[in-house]
């Protein structure tokens, strides 16, 4: 099986905010590891949000957060209040 990753996935990830819960409105890239660990134990939400949260979990637990700042600087869409 050949994988065809979506090149926009990480760009969408750095622009995504948590839509509900304790960290509603926070950038997914800013969610604390303990919150991502909780989702990992409980089960990821379905759909794109679940994929994004699971990806952030993998990035953070594998020490790959240094990859995010260049993406954020180049691709994060500004919004009022930031």
With respect to residue 13, please indicate whether it lies within any of the assigned structural domains.
yes
With respect to residue 63, please indicate whether it lies within any of the assigned structural domains.
no
Look at residue 77 in the predicted model and tell me its pLDDT: 80
With respect to residue 18, please indicate whether it lies within any of the assigned structural domains.
yes
With respect to residue 82, please indicate whether it lies within any of the assigned structural domains.
no
Query: Rounded to 5 degrees, what angle do the CA atoms 34, 41, 53 make?
Result: 65
Look at residue 1 in the predicted model and tell me its pLDDT: 66
Using CB atoms within 10 A of its CB, is residue 76 exposed (0-12), middle (13-18) or buried (19+)?
Answer: middle
Query: What pTM, to 2 d.p., does this model score?
Result: 0.86
Structure tokens that stand for 37 in this block: 């660990």
Number of other CB atoms surrounding residue 36 within 10 Å: 21
Local confidence pLDDT in tens for the 82 residues of the chain: 677 778 799 999 999 999 999 999 999 999 999 999 999 999 999 999 999 999 999 999 999 999 999 999 999 886 644 4
With respect to residue 52, please indicate whether it lies within any of the assigned structural domains.
no
Full domain range(s) for residue 27: 7-31
């Amino acid at each position: 099986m050949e994988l065809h990753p979506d090149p926009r996935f990480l760009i969408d990830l750095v622009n995504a905010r948590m839509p509900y819960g304790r960290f509603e409105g926070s950038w997914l890239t800013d969610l604390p590891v303990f919150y991502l660990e909780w989702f990992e134990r409980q089960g990821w939400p379905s759909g794109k949000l679940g994929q994004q949260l699971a990806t952030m979990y993998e990035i953070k637990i594998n020490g790959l957060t240094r990859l995010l700042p260049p993406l954020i600087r180049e691709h994060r869409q500004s919004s009022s209040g930031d």
